[in-house]
Amino acid sequence: MTLGKDGSPIVLIVGGNERGMEAWNPGTSTVELLSDEILPEKLQDYAISVGEMIPIKEGSEFIYYGGWHGSTTDEIWKYVVESQKWTR
């Protein structure tokens, strides 16, 4: 589980038809835009779709892998919540 700035649980959302990353707070039913473009998208000319994002280290980091745009991608990325940094 990932915690938002106020300490409440949030769900991170990436991929689809739009670029960027959002945080959904199920307790308040609100969505906050965290970034209008994530690093894996900056290296492509399209939004990432059909990828998977899994939490590690008790939700303080995430692994993002896969994706599709005419063919699959085999890149693996790590996102650190505290620093908001992506690494390949």
Q: Give residue 72's domain range.
A: 2-87
pLDDT computed for residue 20 by the predictor: 81
Looking at the 3D structure of the chain, how many domains does it have? Answer: 1
Q: How far is CA 49 from CA 43, 44, 66, 69, in A?
A: 14, 12, 9, 7
Strand partners, 51: 66
pLDDT for 29-76, tens place per residue? 999 888 877 777 666 665 566 778 888 998 889 998 877 666 667 778
- On whether the pTM is more than 0.75, the answer is no
Per-residue confidence (pLDDT) for residue 70, from 0 to 100? 63
- CA 35 – CA 61 distance, rounded (Å): 16
How far apart, in whole angstroms, are the C-alpha atoms of residue 9 and residue 11? 7
Per-residue pLDDT, 18: 76
- Helices first, then strands: H and E counts in the chain: 1, 8
> What's the confidence (pLDDT) of residue 67?
72
Amino acid identity of residue 5, one-letter, is K
